Amino acid sequence: MSDATGPDKFDGPTPDNALRQANKTSGPMLAADGKPLKKSLSRALRRQKLRALMLIAPLLIFVLVSFIAPIADMLFRSVENQIVSDTMPRTTEVLGAWDGQDLPPEEAFEAAYYDLYIAAEQRIHTRLGSRLNYELTGASSLFRKSGRGLDDIGEVYQDQFEDLDENWDEPMPWIELMGDPDWLAEQQEWAADEEGRQPRFELREGIDEILPRSAAQYAIFADFTQRVEEDNLLEEEPWSAVHTALYQDLASGDVSSYSGPRADMLQAAAALVASPEFETVAFIDGFEEIDEDWIEPPIWRTIKLYSPNYTSGYFLNSIDMQLTPDGAEARPENEQIYMLLFKRTLFMSLVITLSCILLGYPVAYILSNLPMRTANLLMILVLLPFWTSLLVRTSAWKVMLQQQGVINDVLVWIGLVADEQRLTMINNQFGTIVAMTHILLPFMILPMYSVMSTIPPSYVRAAKSLGATNWTTFWRVYFPQSIPGIGAGSILVFILSIGYYITPEIVGGTTGTFISNRIAYHISSSLNWGLAAALGTILLAVVLLLYWAYDRIVGIDNVKLG
């Protein structure tokens, strides 16, 4: 006789007593020690939860690092667009006020000159060119050309200043003019042995008020030289953008009151600039010299449109639209491709799913009604394709279906098809559907089989004993119970096929390719990752939407894998 069934003989608080006590009094249920029961319970469960968490932690971390994070990053790329404003900060600012009609003002060209000059020195102007090339054909070569041509503008001024005074092309005079004396002393000390970190350049006090543009440009030059090139600033003559800035400062400001280092040299330069012989070149003319595209509005409009940090442009491109100053617009008919691909992907996935159901259902039915031993043996045959490389299977279909292939040969041989009219069964939709149905069939059969094998044969017998014919028994009793298997298999096959890549790539030709092939193209060939990310995001959204719809219509509880 065990004590558990004996009467309650404890005098002290037991969990039972405490619960009874708590039931009598109102308020929160108390545990035996008087603490609220919920609190005690959650404390008792905390250890369990912690242990569970620790057990799943390795997988969780792995999934986060290798799955969730890359996906999130990829999704983010579909809207990210910082490259324009990062590379051309001044230009985008000036263009913000531009109405987008005709040409932007001279200031925009000036800003673009300085922005692109630095970008060209850093060799990042071509990257921006490729980015803008996605939106405007020709932008890439325009930017590449401009990187080389911008020097021509500055050299006009550089040459004239140099002709006036050799010192304008020497490093030291510039440093004395621009640099802080204390910094200069440190820099000279460092230059003696060039060991350790180069002291960072500091502007001389007050110089940015007298020569604002030059000071700013020189500071950028100094920073680039010290930080990126890691050269000794004392030995580097400034680049021509600084001379351009000096001309602008001298032309617009008055330096006659300046009395710091190199005052005479500066004043002489100011006199030269003021003289009528001084040759100048407007920025707009300089850009026209580089390429006439610069004095057409499209490139400026494109820069303005893509100056925000985030853009809907990639998504609009993904649905055959484009961003224009007047909002989103459909692309011209001959440039539309993605909607066609999305529709084709959905349609073909649907056809593949349907043919998998039609082919797989009878097989699963037979398998589930065979004795275990035979069923297992046949199941190996179903799974056999899994053990063969996907590429081999797909290539085998190529051999089977091509015009000089096995099937055509047989058809010609038995005289069904004339030799000169062999059927085209590969490199089109038909070939893709055939090959993918074959490859994805096991994913349909397996869940169907596992659901069907749980349907007891007594249901069928019951239906027959109640007077139902074989067909009625199947349709009214067996089939409804096998629907969860069809559902699970269909979701599996549909989602797999909607993102399938290798098979359509090999046997799809031009009419049988999927959206995933286009995504792969943008990832690996055109390197337009933003567009690839946007297409992928749309694909993901479509799958989730279909999943949601399935849940609403059929109910996701109805999906059983076994």
Partner 1 sequence: MPDTGTSDAFVAFERVQKSYDGETLVVKDLNLNMPKGEFLTMLGPSGSGKTTCLMMLAGFETATHGEIKLDGVSINNIPPHKRGIGMVFQNYALFPHMTVAENLSFPLEVRKIGKSEREKKVMRALDMVEMGAFGGRRPAQLSGGQQQRIALARALVFEPELVLMDEPLGALDKQLREKMQFEITDLAHRLGITVVYVTHDQTEALTMSDRVAVFDDGRIQQLAPPDELYEAPQNSFVAQFIGENNTLEGVVKEISGGRCTVQLDGGEMIDAMPVNVSKVGERTRVSIRPERVEVNPELGEGAHTLKAKVKEFIYMGDIFRTRLSVAGNEDFVIKTRNRPDQVRLKPGEDVTIGWLPEDCRALDAQ
CB of 449 to partner 1, least distance (A): 19
**Which residue, 276 or 371, has its beta carbon nearer to partner 1?**
371
CB of 483 to partner 1, least distance (A): 8
88 neighbors 112 (Cβ within 8 angstroms): yes
Q: Which residues pair with 71 in a beta bridge?
A: none
Q: What amino acid is encoded at 119 in this protein?
A: A
Q: Which residues contact 52 (CB under 8 A, 6 or more apart)?
A: none
Q: Which residues contact 51 (CB under 8 A, 6 or more apart)?
A: none
CB of 450 to partner 1, least distance (A): 17
CB of 457 to partner 1, least distance (A): 9
Under the criterion CB under 8 A, does residue 369 sit at the interface with partner 1? no
**Which residue, 233 or 448, has its beta carbon nearer to partner 1?**
448
410 neighbors 373 (Cβ within 8 angstroms): no
Burial class (CB in 10 A: 0-12, 13-18, 19+), 1: exposed
**Which residue, 376 or 472, has its beta carbon nearer to partner 1?**
472
Q: Which residues contact 141 (CB under 8 A, 6 or more apart)?
A: 129
Phi, psi of 232 (to 5 degrees): -75, 120
87 neighbors 124 (Cβ within 8 angstroms): yes
Q: Which residues contact 342 (CB under 8 A, 6 or more apart)?
A: 515, 538, 539, 542
CB of 368 to partner 1, least distance (A): 17
DSSP string spanning 536-550?
A: HHHHHHHHHHHHHHH
**Which residue, 393 or 464, has its beta carbon nearer to partner 1?**
464
**Which residue, 332 or 467, has its beta carbon nearer to partner 1?**
467
DSSP state of 310: B
CB of 134 to partner 1, least distance (A): 53
Take residue 229 and report the two structure tokens written for it.
Answer: 């090139």
Q: Which residues pair with 324 in a beta bridge?
A: 327
Q: Which residues contact 243 (CB under 8 A, 6 or more apart)?
A: 154, 157, 158, 161, 168
Take residue 529 and report the two structure tokens written for it.
Answer: 């990752």
Question: CA of 325: how far to CAs of 112, 140, 297, 304, in Å?
Answer: 20, 21, 12, 9
User: How many amino acids of this chain bind partner 1 (CB under 8 A)?
Assistant: 19
**Which residue, 362 or 456, has its beta carbon nearer to partner 1?**
456
What is the SS3 string spanning 252-301? HCCCCCCCCCCHHHHHHHHHHHHCCCCCCCCHHHHHHHHCHHHHCHHHHH
Which spans in 291-371 are helix H?
Answer: 297-305, 313-318, 338-369
Question: CA of 295: how far to CAs of 64, 98, 120, 265, 390, in Å?
Answer: 49, 15, 20, 37, 54
Applying the rule CB under 8 A, the residues between 439 and 498 that interact with partner 1 are 456, 458-459, 461-470, 472-473, 476-477, 480-481
**Which residue, 196 or 371, has its beta carbon nearer to partner 1?**
371
CB of 5 to partner 1, least distance (A): 17
- Binding to partner 1 by CB under 8 A, coded x per residue (else -) over 401-440, reads ----------------------------------------
**Which residue, 188 or 472, has its beta carbon nearer to partner 1?**
472
The C-alpha R_g of the chain, in whole angstroms, comes to: 38
Question: CA of 292: how far to CAs of 100, 121, 289, in Å?
Answer: 18, 23, 7
DSSP string spanning 173-216?
A: HHHHHHB-HHHHHHHHHHHHHT-SPPPPP-BPTTHHHHSHHHHH
Q: What's the CA gap between 560 and 466, in Å, rounded?
A: 28
CB of 365 to partner 1, least distance (A): 17
**Which residue, 206 or 457, has its beta carbon nearer to partner 1?**
457
**Which residue, 403 or 469, has its beta carbon nearer to partner 1?**
469
Applying the rule CB under 8 A, the residues between 42 and 81 that interact with partner 1 are none
Degrees, nearest 5: CA angle 149-155-157: 135
CB of 310 to partner 1, least distance (A): 50
**Which residue, 455 or 542, has its beta carbon nearer to partner 1?**
455
**Which residue, 220 or 460, has its beta carbon nearer to partner 1?**
460
CB of 473 to partner 1, least distance (A): 8
CB of 463 to partner 1, least distance (A): 7
Q: How many helices (H) and strands (E) does the chain have?
A: 28, 2
Take residue 336 and report the two structure tokens written for it.
Answer: 């539309």
CB of 470 to partner 1, least distance (A): 8
Take residue 80 and report the two structure tokens written for it.
Answer: 């990210």
**Which residue, 34 or 456, has its beta carbon nearer to partner 1?**
456
Q: What's the CA gap between 558 and 488, in Å, rounded?
A: 8
CB of 374 to partner 1, least distance (A): 15
**Which residue, 67 or 459, has its beta carbon nearer to partner 1?**
459
CB of 486 to partner 1, least distance (A): 14
Residues that bind partner 1 (CB under 8 A): 456, 458-459, 461-470, 472-473, 476-477, 480-481
